[in-house]
Structure 1
Amino acid sequence: MTQGIKETCKDAGASGGVPPVPPAPAALAAKVRALAPTMTRSMQRVAEAVASDPAGCAALTVTGLAERTGTSEATVVRTARLLGYPGYRDLRLALAGLAAQQQSGRAPALTTDITVDDPIADVVAKLAHDEQQTLADTAAGLDTVQLGAAVAALVAARRIDVYGIGASGLVAQDLTQKLLRIGLMAHAPGDPHLAVTNAVQLRAGDVAVAITHSGSTRDVIEPLRVAFERGATTVAITGRPDAPVTQYADHVLTTSTARESELRPAAMSSRTGQLLVVDCLFVGVAQRTYETAAPALAASYEALAHRRSPRGRRA
């Protein structure tokens, strides 16, 4: 019953009133990287073309871009819409804006992938660039309305469960540790079975957060689904805004990732964007609960400082 009500509300919110705002030019490359793995091969060719040469593609008509990528006009329009633009004209405007930013130095071109022969200095430079770009892309594409709603839910929560597996599990533990330090009741069960049994105990007024870059990790989706059905407020942090996990999310926070390569798998590159979102959630909660959060943080700092004191000076 609860699920039906919540899904009806989600559908109503998605279909009514104000149309979604197209991504800002700075977020275009991030959207391409996030959505390319889910596109057809022909749509990938269009997406790769606009991301690699925004200035050149901005000068092309829909027919010209279709000819350049060996696709059809319909494919170009579908790609534009998948990237979040009402039509190709809107995509061209975003491409022109992105090209202007790149020419001014505010949106640097992507570096090449790390190779096995790269000197360590080049590895450092490329990783630093990719990390900075991931942070910038995630910030540009983050929906602050959804973020604010997620923060409000965390502030009011009786209990918070955070689900994540593998590298995303480390991010889940990071969020949980932060929330615990300001006095919130938070858990990050590492075992998938424990996550589901914990989710069964949730109810309205509780919050469940799922962290999964692919958005299709079953061991993360299942406890979120259970929490959703129990009436808890649910949040998904994912790199795929149309992924299966979002079906059970009241609030979706999308992340960007650097390009995946042989020496830099998605699990490694996705963590940077996830940690930024987690930090935004924590700071937002700490701001709204400052009167209790500040003393709690001070107490935790004092406790940790006590443990770091020389053995002979410990009380």
Structure 2
Amino acid sequence: MQENVVRPAGSGPGNATAASDAGDALTATVRGLLPSLTPAAARIASLIVEDPAQVARSTISELSVLAGTSESSIVRTARALGFAGYPELRLALAASAARQAPRSTLTSGITSDDSAEEVIAKLVHTESQAVLETATQLDAGQLTGAVLAVCGGGQLHIAGVGASGLVAQDLQQKLARIGRPCHAHGDSQSALTSAVLLGEGDVFLAVSHSGESRDVLAPLRRAAAQGATTVVITNHPMSTAARLADFVLVSAGRETTFRPGAMASRISQLVVVDCLFVCVAQRTFDTSSRALRATHEALEVDRKG
């Protein structure tokens, strides 16, 4: 199992937009870490997510009052996010606030009075942000490790429950089209009974927005105990599932009005799935190309049939 380290926002290798989007990526990073923070750090993080401009304007003493915590807690939180101290965190938040300012009406959430046009604009903006933020959170090194494991030729089992189960099925369908046999499990019993039969060279991939779903954690633990390589797609890089995994692929979906976690996570998880699939197809180009041609021709014959 590899040690999963939280890097400063936008610092992951291979992130083409890292330099320009570091400020925007910071709030996505903080949002993903919220569930794993101490109560004091979580209050500071909540203020960062809700209003980065206000935090950027606040001195450490002012933020201490706003968050109801000590100045030393603020410094520790800044360092946990990869900054030397609070001044550096303020600068990054100021950059984030500057980028978000022109879009304030789109980031305010959907209300009961919004027109259909406003709903479309806000949803498109939110989902576009999920895609961009996922690009800053997805670590190229972790992705490469997961790709090599999937290409290894052993058994591949994918697990996810609810909306994450639909994402697991999407990945299974994609890989099947390029000749990579795999199984998708939408319930804990099916995943568990498959996990106990895995071994070295096999892969167990779990999809979980929270990283804390018991339906996914139990088979993930068993697969790891059996010696299989474990991969997790999650929104929370410090979650239990992430700590259990050899490779962690971080998505970045946010919750807004009328959009519970299951909806918020789906788009960002599918971005991760597409990146994984394309990299696998790229690495197995010859066999993948032949399989895609064969399956496409079969569907064309059936359609004309």
Residue 29 of structure 1 deviates from its aligned partner by 1.4
Find the aligned partners of 1:282 and 1:132 in 2 and give their Cα distance.
20
Q: Which moved more, 1:35-44 or 1:199-208?
A: 35-44
Match for residue 183 of structure 1?
179
Does the alignment pair 1:23 with 2:23?
A: no
Query: For the aligned residues, what is the CA RMSD?
Result: 2.2
Match for residue 153 of structure 1?
149
Find the aligned partners of 2:52 and 2:185 in 1 and give their Cα distance.
44
Task: Please tell me whether the aligned partners of residues 221 and 245 of structure 1 are also in contact (alpha carbons under 8 angstroms).
Answer: yes
Match for residue 200 of structure 1?
196
Find the aligned partners of 2:6 and 2:30 in 1 and give their Cα distance.
17
Match for residue 32 of structure 1?
30
Q: 2:139 aligns with which of 119, 139, 143?
A: 143
Match for residue 292 of structure 1?
287
Amino acid at match of 1:178: K
Task: Please tell me whether the aligned partners of residues 162 and 187 of structure 1 are also in contact (alpha carbons under 8 angstroms).
Answer: yes
Match for residue 62 of structure 2?
64
Find the aligned partners of 1:33 and 1:246 in 2 and give their Cα distance.
15
- In structure 2, stretches of 5+ residues that fail to align are 11-22
Find the aligned partners of 1:55 and 1:115 in 2 and give their Cα distance.
23
Find the aligned partners of 1:38 and 1:89 in 2 and give their Cα distance.
24
Residue 143 of structure 1 deviates from its aligned partner by 1.0
Relative to structure 1, is the Cα distance of residues 77 and 165 closer, same or farther in structure 2, using a 3 angstrom cutoff? same
Task: Please tell me whether the aligned partners of residues 6 and 81 of structure 2 are also in contact (alpha carbons under 8 angstroms).
Answer: no
Q: 1:43 aligns with which of 25, 41, 44?
A: 41
Task: Please tell me whether the aligned partners of residues 215 and 238 of structure 1 are also in contact (alpha carbons under 8 angstroms).
Answer: yes
Q: Which moved more, 1:59-68 or 1:24-33?
A: 59-68
Amino acid at match of 2:131: L
Residue 41 of structure 1 deviates from its aligned partner by 5.4
Task: Please tell me whether the aligned partners of residues 33 and 259 of structure 1 are also in contact (alpha carbons under 8 angstroms).
Answer: no
Find the aligned partners of 1:55 and 1:191 in 2 and give their Cα distance.
43
Helix, strand or coil for the counterpart of 1:156? Answer: coil
Find the aligned partners of 2:198 and 2:40 in 1 and give their Cα distance.
44
Match for residue 228 of structure 1?
224
Q: Deviations over 1:43-83 (max 9, x none)?
A: 34422333444345335432232134343213322432444
Amino acid at match of 1:294: S
Task: Please tell me whether the aligned partners of residues 233 and 250 of structure 2 are also in contact (alpha carbons under 8 angstroms).
Answer: yes
Match for residue 3 of structure 1?
none
Task: Please tell me whether the aligned partners of residues 32 and 252 of structure 2 are also in contact (alpha carbons under 8 angstroms).
Answer: yes
Q: Which has the higher contact order (CA 8 A, sep 6+)?
A: 2
Helix, strand or coil for the counterpart of 2:164? Answer: helix
Find the aligned partners of 2:42 and 2:113 in 1 and give their Cα distance.
29
Find the aligned partners of 1:84 and 1:188 in 2 and give their Cα distance.
36
Task: Please tell me whether the aligned partners of residues 160 and 187 of structure 2 are also in contact (alpha carbons under 8 angstroms).
Answer: no
Q: Which moved more, 1:282-291 or 1:221-230?
A: 221-230
Relative to structure 1, is the Cα distance of residues 178 and 224 closer, same or farther in structure 2, using a 3 angstrom cutoff? same
Find the aligned partners of 2:204 and 2:190 in 1 and give their Cα distance.
14
Find the aligned partners of 1:275 and 1:97 in 2 and give their Cα distance.
28
- Percent identity, please: 48
Find the aligned partners of 2:162 and 2:83 in 1 and give their Cα distance.
34
Q: Deviations over 1:91-137 (max 9, x none)?
A: 2232233245446x6xx445222123322221111111110011111
Helix, strand or coil for the counterpart of 2:233? Answer: strand
Task: Please tell me whether the aligned partners of residues 210 and 235 of structure 2 are also in contact (alpha carbons under 8 angstroms).
Answer: yes
Task: Please tell me whether the aligned partners of residues 157 and 205 of structure 1 are also in contact (alpha carbons under 8 angstroms).
Answer: yes
Does the alignment pair 1:174 with 2:142?
A: no
Helix, strand or coil for the counterpart of 1:241? Answer: coil
Task: Please tell me whether the aligned partners of residues 234 and 250 of structure 1 are also in contact (alpha carbons under 8 angstroms).
Answer: yes
Helix, strand or coil for the counterpart of 1:116? Answer: coil
Structure whose CA Rg is larger: 1
Residue 163 of structure 1 deviates from its aligned partner by 0.6
Match for residue 301 of structure 1?
296
